[in-house]
Amino acid sequence: MVTATMRFTPLVAGTIQAAIDTQMMRTTTTKNSQGVWPTVANRRADSITHLLTGALGRHPDYEVLIHVRGDGNTLDDGTPIPDGPVARLLPEAFIRLLIHDAEARPVNASSKRRSPTDHQKRLVKERDQTCIECGRHDLLEYDHLPAYETSRRTQTDELQLRCAPCHTRRHDQ
């Protein structure tokens, strides 16, 4: 299970709580497969899921990345996911599986476009993980080396993950 702690100002918290509880009251409660009634906590968790992922059947405008490796599956932040849930999620369009080969080497992909494709971004992010210069995890950008102006192409092994400050500093030099 993933547990989250969130901190909001009182008014925002009250608004969010009202949205969750309204959604909960609108949903018909049924016993689960073991014949057990859900707790209020269960129902609130279902309401949050429903509110955040949109109404059932509509696919939201984002994707969930699941890494599938020989030694197990994980979310992008390393949270382990058992095989069963991954198999059940496969038909969902917003779930993407990044399959790792034996050496964990990403497959190269070339594009004439300057901005990397979502697939290329995933491969570079998986390879570099953090800014390759300072190690920070946020403000990450995809830096062309050699420069796009020279190469006129976008290829995963010619992209490096750099945070915006390091990226800017490199180009200023």
Candidate ranges 17-25, 57-65, 97-105, 157-165; the one touching Zn ion (CB under 5 A)? 157-165
The distance of closest approach from Cβ of residue 74 to Zn ion in the complex, given in angstroms and rounded to an integer, is: 24
Residue 166 within binding range of Zn ion, rule CB under 5 A:
yes
By C-alpha distance, which of 119, 59, 130, 55 is closest to 89? 59
Q: How many CB atoms lie within 10 A of CB 89?
A: 14
Nearer of residues 30 and 173 to Zn ion, judged by Cβ: 173
Q: Tell me the number of residues near Zn ion by CB under 5 A.
A: 5
Of 27-35, 61-69, 96-104, 156-164, the window that binds Zn ion (rule: CB under 5 A) is: 156-164
Nearest-approach distance from CB 19 to Zn ion, in angstroms: 38
Under the binding rule (CB under 5 A), the answer on residue 140 touching Zn ion is no
Q: Does 163 bind Zn ion (CB under 5 A)?
A: yes
Q: Site for Zn ion (CB under 5 A): which residue of 63, 128, 133, 158?
A: 133
Applying CB under 5 A, among 13, 19, 104, 134 the residue interacting with Zn ion is: 134
- Number of C-beta neighbours around residue 151 at 10 A: 13
Sign of CA dihedral 170, 149, 112, 103: negative
Of these, 131, 140, 159, 161, which contacts Zn ion (CB under 5 A)? Answer: 131
How far CA 138 is from CA of 15, 27, 36, 142, in Å, comes to 29, 38, 43, 12
Contacts with 59 (C-beta within 8 Å, 6 or more apart), sequence order: 92, 93, 94
Residue 113 contacts residue 154 (beta carbons within 8 Å): yes
Triad 16, 46, 2: Cα angle to 5°: 90
CB of 139 to Zn ion, least distance (A): 8
Contacting positions for Zn ion (CB under 5 A): 131, 133-134, 163, 166
